[in-house]
Amino acid sequence: MRIAVVGCTGLVGTEMLKVLANSSISIDEIIPIASEKSVGKEISFKGKFYKIVGLATGVEMKPDIALFSAGASVSKEWAPRFAEVGTFVIDNSSAWRMFNDVPLVVPEVNAHTITSANKIIANPNCSTIQLVVAINPLHKKYKIRRLVISTYQSVTGTGVKAVSQMNAERLGQEADMVYPHPIDLNCFPHGGSFLDNGYTTEEQKLIDETRKIIGDNSIMVSPTVVRIPVVGGHSESINIEFENEFELSDVVGLLRNSAGITIQDDPANNIYPTPRFSQGKDDVFVGRIRRDFSQPKSLNFWVVSDNLRKGAATNAVQIAELLVSKRIVG
């Protein structure tokens, strides 16, 4: 089993290597791939050292699986080239997510959409992944009519340069501005770029990707994305209006018994999910579960997950594990 990691030196690529090292896949060789400035450098994986190669060399090496985290433009150009030589590509960018013939996969939700015919598989946006893990079991039982989501997203979702901007500002140093405003001691309702409809690209992803993964275009979604000065993970305030009535105790029990979810919901003891706690962990943490008394059949809760782990690297590796366990690869 030979697995390539494209963008191996970035925040997500580095995390992918960490998750792969503890995965259920028996890996014979890692093929680290990065930009030309990194070619020839070495990375360590499970006690062995591997030299970083370029994209063209990576294609020639014909890995069984390639995990991509190098941006949409790289994925658009190179994912098909890997697919042509028989490699299964799991792409973390936005490049392929909304193509009808490309599965957009969160294993806890729609693992069934993966087949041997799909050489390119899309990894959803980080904020979408934790959202659908939390809402899918509720949708199955009560059917969601409407979602109102406000996200509080870590700077790590923008990449290492955003982390550097925040840290420089925190130290009172001159910062290379990745964001249009200072981020330390600040927050702003701006994720991605603004669209003609007044929403941002990050907000539109929450609408489109949620419907595709859940498999229900009738769900109404109203999102607001906010960037905040933390590094541990993304947080989401979620309000759901269901078609069917529910008992709060049943909702908690359903979430508690769903794969990938950890309940942290004891307000009397100040127990609820936080980005700092979620950092480095693979679960989606759910708390502040309470009925919305302003609207019938409605629920409020709070969801937090490490956007570099379950929101990106872990989900991608879980897809790779599915390819192996289904005997599509290997």
List active site positions: 126, 234
**What one-character-per-residue DSSP string does 58-114 give?**
HHHT--SEEEE-S-HHHHHHHHHHHHHTTPEEEE-SSSSTT-TTS-B--HHHHGGG-
The β-bridge relationship of strands 234-242 and 298-305 is antiparallel
161, 176 in Cβ contact below 8 A?
yes
Question: What span, in angstroms and rounded, lies between the C-alpha atoms of 271 and 208?
Answer: 32
**Phi-psi domain of 215 (left: phi exceeds 0; alpha: psi -120 through 50; beta: other):** left
Cβ neighbours, 10 Å, residue 145: 16
Q: What share of the chain is helix, strand, coil (3-state, %, to 5)?
A: 35, 25, 40
64, 26 in Cβ contact below 8 A?
no
91, 124 in Cβ contact below 8 A?
no
The β-bridge relationship of strands 298-305 and 261-263 is unpaired
Question: What span, in angstroms and rounded, lies between the C-alpha atoms of 77 and 74?
Answer: 5
Phi, psi of 192 (to 5 degrees): 80, -145
Q: Is 42 exposed, middle or buried (0-12, 13-18, 19+ CB in 10 A)?
A: exposed
Tokens 């989606």 appear where?
Answer: 284
